[in-house]
A and B are shown apart, each in its own frame.
Chain A
Amino acid sequence: MIAINARTLLPVVSLVLLLGAVFYLQPRAMSYFGINLLFNLAVPIALATIAQMMIIMVNDIDLSVGTFVSFAACVTASFVHDTPVLGYAILAGAVVVYAGLGALIQLRQLPAIVVTLGMSFVWGGLAVLILPSPGGSSPDWLRGLMTSKPPVLPMAIVASLLIAVVTHVVIMRSAFGVLLRGVGGNARTVVRSGWSVVWLKASAYGLAGLFGVLSGMTLVGLTTSADANIALRYTLLSIAGVILGGGEFTGGRVSPIGAVIGALTLTLAGSFLSFLRLSPDWQIGAQGAILILVLAARLVISRGPST
C-alpha cells in the first residue's frame, strides 16, 4: 500500500519540487505571465503524452508520435488555414488511419514498434510534401484560443486541467474506458467475456490519433507556423511523460492525470535547465536522464516494502 501511494505521489512531488526550484531561482516567474511563459508549450506536449498513453494502455508503444504531431501541425498550418473543409477532412482521415493501424497490428499480431517506426517515415514524408520548407500560418480562431488570457489562471494551465479532466472521465471513469484498460490488463479475460479486442485496439489507436491531431493543432496555435520537424522530440517526451506520470509499459496501468502532470513536469524541466544556464546541448540528454532516474526511483520504491 505504501508503495502504491508513493508511486502515485511521485509525479506530483516531482512537479512541486521543480516548481519550487524554479521560483527560488527566479522569483519573478511567480506570476500570471511568468507561469504562462514557463508552461508555454505544455498543452501540445500534454496532448501528445495522452496520445502515447492510449497506445501504452493496450501494451504497445508508438514511435511515430513525434512525426505524426509534426504532420498534423503542417496540415493545420496549410490546409486548415487555407481550405478548412479539406484540412479537417485530412485530419479526420489521419485519425481513421491510426485506428486502422491498431486493428492491423492486432489482427496480424505485428510488432507495434516496427509498424509505428515505419509510419513515422510515412507521416514525415507527408509533412515534407505538404510543407517543404517552414511556413504556413495558424487559423485565426486557433491562434486566438491558444493566446487568450483567461482570468486567474493562464491558458496553459486551464487547458491542461481540461485535458486531464476529459481524458480522466473517458479512460478512468467511463464503462468504455474500463474495457480499453482491460485489454492491457488481461486481454484473455476480455475476449472470454465476449468482446472484440481488434475493435478495442482500433479504438485506442483512434483515440491516440485524435489526441495527436489536437497536439499538432495547438502547437500551430502557439507557434503560428509549422515545419516537418517541428515536433520530432515529442516521441521521447510523450513516453517520458507517461512514465513520469505513473504509467507502466505493460499491464494497462496508466493515469491520464499523471500523464498531464508528467508532461507539465517535462515542460518545466526545460525551463528550469535554461534558468540554471545549463547549455541547451544538455536539454535532450537531461530528459533522457530524467526518464532513467524516474524508472530507477520507481524500482527502488516498488522493491522497498517487499524485501
Chain B
Amino acid sequence: MTATSPDRPVVALSGVRKFFGAVRALDGVTISIRPGECVGLVGHNGAGKSTLVNLVNGGMAPTEGDIEYDLPADASVSGQAAARAAGVRSVFQELSLCPNLTVLENLRIPQHDLGGTGWRAVARARIAEALDAVFPGHTIDPGGTVGDLTLAERQMVEIAIGFSEGDTPARLVILDEPTSSLDASIAAQLLDHVKRFCKAGGAVIFISHLLGEVFTVSSRIVVMKDGKITEDRAAGGFTRRQLVDAMGHVATDEEEKKDRPKVVRRTELGAEILSSPEGIRAREGEIVGLAGLAGHGQAEALARLYMARSSGWYAARSPKVVFVAGDRVRDGLMPLWSIRANASLATLRALTRLGLIDRGGEEQLAADWKARIGIRTDDVANPILSLSGGNQQKVLFARALASDAPVVVMDDPMRGVDIGTKHEVYEMIRAEAAKGRTFLWYSTETEETCLCDRVFVFRNKAISAELTGDQITEQNILAASFEMQEEHA
C-alpha cells in the first residue's frame, strides 16, 4: 500500500504559482501537510484558498513549482491520479453528488475498485460504516436516492464518502466549508471525527468561515491573502482578533492608503425607494453595499430584486432598474456582438422607431459612452471580445448607466478589473449617485464596500449586520462575515 514513513508529508508544495491569464491566483506557496495534522485554512474572498485546494487534489496543474505526494518510489502516476493514489480526497463546497443515484451508488463514482458481483454490499458496508463513524445516530439509508435527501443529509453523505474506506485509504481529506448546511450538533460530530481521524494519523485541510470551528479542530492555522500564505502557526499562536486582523489589510495599510479614493459620504439623501424581503433598504441617491463572504446569498438577493422589478413579457422605454453583471460571461456579455450593440442593449426601446433601431442614435450613444467611460478601442464596431476584461466591464457599465433607470444593481462588477479602471468607475458611480440614482453594490472586496453609504453584511443567506457611516470599516465587515462563537475560546 501507499503508507510509507509516518514523518513524510502526505503532500508538499514548494514555490507553487498558478496564473489564470494575467491574474495571479497563487503566488509562490510553499506548504507541506504531515500525517496527523489538521490545517485550518482561512482567508478572505479571492485569497487563493480554492486554487490551493484544486492544486492539492490534482484538479489543476501548477503554472510553476512542484507538488509532491507521498507515493511509493515506483509509482508512475501524475496529477489527479497521483493525488488519488496518495489518498487525497476532496469534499467540495458546491455539492458534487449525482442526485439521480443512490447514496451507495455515489460512492461507486470515485471508488474505481467497486465492481463485479456483490459490489453493492461492499459499497453499502463502506458508506454505512463511514456515516456511522462520522455522524453517529444519523438516519440516512445507503439505498436512498440522493435527490430525496435534505441539503444537510447530502452534505453528510459527501463528507462520509471523503472519509470512507476504499482501495486507497483516505490519508488527506480536504473539507471546503463542510458545515455550511449542517446544524450545530451535526457539525460538532464532524469536528469530533476530524480530531479522531487526525489522532489516528490522518491529515485534514479544513476551510471554514466559522472561526470558532477552525480553532476547535485545527492543530495549525494557515492564513492566505492575495495568493500568498501570510501566516502559518500552531493554532494556539492566534487569538480570534489576531486572526481577523491577519486576514485583513493591516500589514500593507500605509502604502495603500495613498492609492485609496477619498470617501465622501453624502449626508442628505432622498426618500426610501426600495426595500426587499431580505431587509435590504435604500434611499434615493444612496450607494448601498452588500458584503460578506462569496456565496452567502448576496448575488441571489440582487437577482431576485432585479427580476421582481422587470418583466419577461414587456420591455419599458424607461426601465425601473438596470443590472451590471460581474460574472461577465454568465450574466453580461453578448459574445458575438460588437461593442456598440453590447452597450445599447438595455436602452434599445428608447432607440427604436416603428420597430426599427435608429442606427444613428445607437452610434451616438456608443460614441458618447466610449468617451465618457474611456473604453479603449479605435472603433465601437469592433467585437466586444477584442477588449480586455476591464474594458468589457466598462461596456457593461455603459449599458446600464445609459438608461435613465433610477436603481442600478451591481453584482460584484469589479472582478478582474485593473486598479485604474476601478477608480474611474468609482468616481462615475459617485457622480451618478449625486444626481439621485440609487446603487445596490455587491462586492467581494471589502475596500470597495467601504466606499458605500450603507452596508448590509450577509452570512448564511441572511443579513447579519447593517452598518452606516463610521461603522463601515474592514474590521466590522470581516467580524460580521465570520461567525464568532465565544464559547469555543
Closest to B57 in A: A192
Q: Report the Cα distance A251→B148, complex, angstroms.
A: 14
Known: A175-B116, A194-B81. A189 touches B99 (CB 8 A): no
Q: Report the Cα distance A192→B110, complex, angstroms.
A: 8
Q: Does B101 contact A (CB under 8 A)?
A: yes
Residues 243-268 of chain A: 1 if any B CB is under 8 Å from the residue's CB, otherwise 0? 00000000111000000000000000
Are A182's CB and B109's CB within 8 A?
yes
Q: Which residues of A contact B98 (CB under 8 A)?
A: 181-182, 185-186, 189-190, 252
Are A182's CB and B101's CB within 8 A?
yes
Q: Which residues of A contact B80 (CB under 8 A)?
A: 192, 194
Are A178's CB and B100's CB within 8 A?
no
The distance from the CB of B377 to the nearest CB of chain A, in whole angstroms, is 31
Give the contacts of A173-213 with B (CB-CB under 8 A).
Answer: 173, 175-176, 178-179, 181-182, 184-186, 188-190, 192-195
Q: Which residues of B contact A176 (CB under 8 A)?
A: 115
Closest to A177 in B: B105
Q: Which residues of B contact A276 (CB under 8 A)?
A: none
The distance from the CB of A2 to the nearest CB of chain B, in whole angstroms, is 11
Q: Which residues of B contact A181 (CB under 8 A)?
A: 98, 100-101, 105
Known: A179-B109, A181-B101, A182-B109. A189 touches B81 (CB 8 A): no
Are B99's CB and A185's CB within 8 A?
yes
The distance from the CB of B231 to the nearest CB of chain A, in whole angstroms, is 31
Give the contacts of B81-108 with A (CB-CB under 8 A).
Answer: 81, 84, 96-101, 105, 108
Q: Does A284 contact B (CB under 8 A)?
A: no
Q: How many residues of B contact A (CB 8 A)?
A: 23
Q: Report the Cα distance A65→B147, complex, angstroms.
A: 30
A-B contacts counted at CB < 8 A amount to: 58
Known: A1-B148, A173-B120, A194-B84. A189 touches B109 (CB 8 A): yes
Give the contacts of B101-142 with A (CB-CB under 8 A).
Answer: 101, 105, 108-110, 112, 114-116, 119-120
The distance from the CB of A83 to the nearest CB of chain B, in whole angstroms, is 39
The distance from the CB of A188 to the nearest CB of chain B, in whole angstroms, is 7
Are A175's CB and B115's CB within 8 A?
yes
Are A186's CB and B120's CB within 8 A?
no
Q: Report the Cα distance A190→B110, complex, angstroms.
A: 8
Give the contacts of A142-199 with B (CB-CB under 8 A).
Answer: 173, 175-176, 178-179, 181-182, 184-186, 188-190, 192-195
Closest to A4 in B: B148
Q: Does B374 contact A (CB under 8 A)?
A: no
The distance from the CB of A7 to the nearest CB of chain B, in whole angstroms, is 11
Q: Which residues of A contact B120 (CB under 8 A)?
A: 173
Q: Does B59 contact A (CB under 8 A)?
A: yes
Closest to A175 in B: B115
Q: List 20 A-B contacts (CB under 8 A).
A: A173-B120, A175-B119, A176-B115, A178-B101, A178-B109, A181-B105, A184-B100, A186-B96, A186-B98, A189-B98, A189-B109, A190-B109, A192-B80, A192-B96, A193-B109, A194-B80, A194-B81, A194-B112, A251-B99, A251-B100
Question: Which residue numbers of B lie inside 8 Å of A, CB to CB?
Answer: 59, 80-81, 84, 96-101, 105, 108-110, 112, 114-116, 119-120, 145, 147-148
Contacts A186-B97, A189-B96 aside, 20 further interface pairs with beta carbons under 8 A come to A1-B148, A4-B145, A173-B120, A175-B115, A176-B115, A178-B105, A178-B108, A178-B109, A181-B101, A182-B109, A184-B100, A185-B101, A186-B96, A190-B98, A194-B81, A194-B84, A195-B109, A251-B100, A252-B101, A253-B147
